[in-house]
Each structure stands twice: as C-alpha cells, then as structure tokens.
C-alpha cells in the first residue's frame, strides 16, 4: 500500500511540473542594500511554488508567542495560554491527524493528550518569525526536541519542526508539525 501511495505521489508531482523552471522573487525587502534580505537572489525552481517563496523576516512577537505555547506544553497547563489561539484553529500533526475546530475544543483535546504525560522538556534549536510578502501572512517556524516521560515511566524523544500561521490579531490559527524519533537522553 505504501509503495502505491509513494508512486502515486511521484506521478502527481511529475504531472504538476511543466518542466519549465519557475522564477520567484525571494525575500524582497525595502531595507537598504546592505541588509542580508536585499542580497537574496531570485529562486529558479523546476517546481511550481504553490504558496509563496517571497518571505522576509518579521517582528519577533509571533516567534515569542510560539515559544510561550511550547513552554505551556512543557508546564502542563495549556488553558493559561488559550488566548494565544484564534477562535478557529487548524492543526496538522506528524501522525497525519488533522484537527479543525474552535479554540476551546483544540485546547481541551491538546490538554487531554498532555495529561497522559508526566513531564515534557523541550529544547529549541531555531525559532524565527517570517512574513509571506505576496500572501500577506505571518508565520513562525520552530525546530527543536521534545523529551516526554509518561506516567508509566516510558521516555519518548522526538525532533520536531513546526510551522505556525498567525492571523492579523497575532493569534495562532494554523499549524503544521513534522516529527522524527530521537534517541532518549542517556541516564
């Protein structure tokens, strides 16, 4: 079954590609010519870029909101930070689960999962806030590691990459998560 899905995915990607490189302006900035953003070159891609490749660094507030959400997860009380979510939230998890519901429902579901874990400790490798110029949307991306200790003593460790979108009010309304199993910390 997996082979069929992989082959179908490859066929769909090949069908979407016209073979012509697609050029997009990347990281356009109104900053002076000495800034790193203005030094970015146009991307030549053999693939059609469906969303955007025109990003610029954004104000840090969305990255700070994302860090607060991760810290709330570690602390075990998500309700204290529920106001950081928009009224409607869509979340795509690494296991394929997709949740699209009200803020209160999403926070309640997440809290139920978190309550199964005795402790969670996160470390952050990278966090950044970016703005899609052509789509006029604000995002924050985070890469890190989460080490969970379950109530039965089992330790689970994962490398995570999450990309969060924030609405015009600075509230999280969309999240994509990617996960790779990691070796648990040595005792």
- Domain match, 96 and 168 both: yes
Please give the tally of structural domains in the chain.
2
Q: From CA 126, how far away is CA 106, in angstroms rounded?
A: 25
> Does residue 25 sit in the same domain as residue 112?
no
pLDDT digits (tens, 9 = 90+) for 129-179: 999 998 999 999 999 999 999 999 999 999 999 999 999 999 999 999 999
82/42 same-domain check: no
- For residue 186, being part of any structural domain is answered with no
In a domain, 47, yes or no: yes
What pLDDT does residue 53 have? 83
Report the CATH number that the domain containing residue 66 is assigned in CATH. Answer: 3.10.450.50
Contact 31, 37 (CB under 8 A): yes
Same domain, 171 and 127: yes
Strand partners, 85: 172
Residues 65 and 49 placed together within one structural domain of the fold: no
Distance, CA of 100 to CA of 98 (rounded, Å): 7
Q: Looking at residue 183, what is its pLDDT?
A: 76
Degrees (nearest 5) of the Cα angle 107, 112, 113? 100
Edge-first strand order for the sheet with 155-166 is 55-57, 117-132, 137-150, 155-166, 172-181, 85-92, 98-102
* Domain that residue 62 falls in: 58-181
- What does the DSSP assignment read for 14-64? HHH--SS-EEE--S--SS-TTSTGGGPPPEEESS--SS-S-EEE--THHHH
Whether 39 is covered by a domain: the verdict is yes
Between the alpha carbon of residue 114 and those of residues 22, 24, 75, 162, 177, the distances in Å are 43, 41, 10, 17, 16
Res 2: pLDDT: 43
Q: Is 85:169 a contact under the CB 8 Å cutoff?
A: no
- Dist. CA 180–CA 41, nearest whole Å: 31
φ, ψ dihedrals at 103, nearest 5°: -55, -50
pLDDT tens digits along 3-47 = 443 333 333 333 444 444 444 444 344 444 444 554 456 788 899
């Amino acid at each position: 079954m997996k082979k069929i899905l992989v082959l179908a995915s490859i066929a769909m990607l090949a069908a979407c590609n016209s073979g012509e490189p697609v050029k997009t302006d990347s990281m356009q900035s109104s900053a002076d010519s000495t800034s790193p953003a203005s030094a970015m070159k146009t991307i030549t891609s053999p693939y059609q870029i469906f969303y955007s490749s025109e990003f610029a660094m954004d104000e840090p507030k969305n990255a700070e909101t994302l860090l607060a959400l991760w810290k709330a997860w570690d602390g075990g009380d998500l309700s204290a930070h529920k106001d950081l979510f928009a009224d409607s939230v869509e979340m795509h998890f690494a296991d394929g689960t997709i949740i699209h519901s009200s803020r209160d429902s999403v926070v309640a579901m997440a809290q139920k999962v978190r309550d199964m874990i005795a402790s969670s400790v996160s470390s952050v490798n990278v966090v950044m806030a970016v703005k899609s110029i052509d789509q006029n949307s604000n995002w924050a991306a985070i890469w890190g590691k989460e080490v969970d200790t379950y109530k039965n003593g089992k330790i689970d460790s994962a490398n995570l990459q999450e990309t969060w979108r924030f609405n015009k009010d600075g509230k999280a309304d969309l999240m994509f998560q990617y996960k790779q199993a990691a070796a648990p910390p040595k005792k």
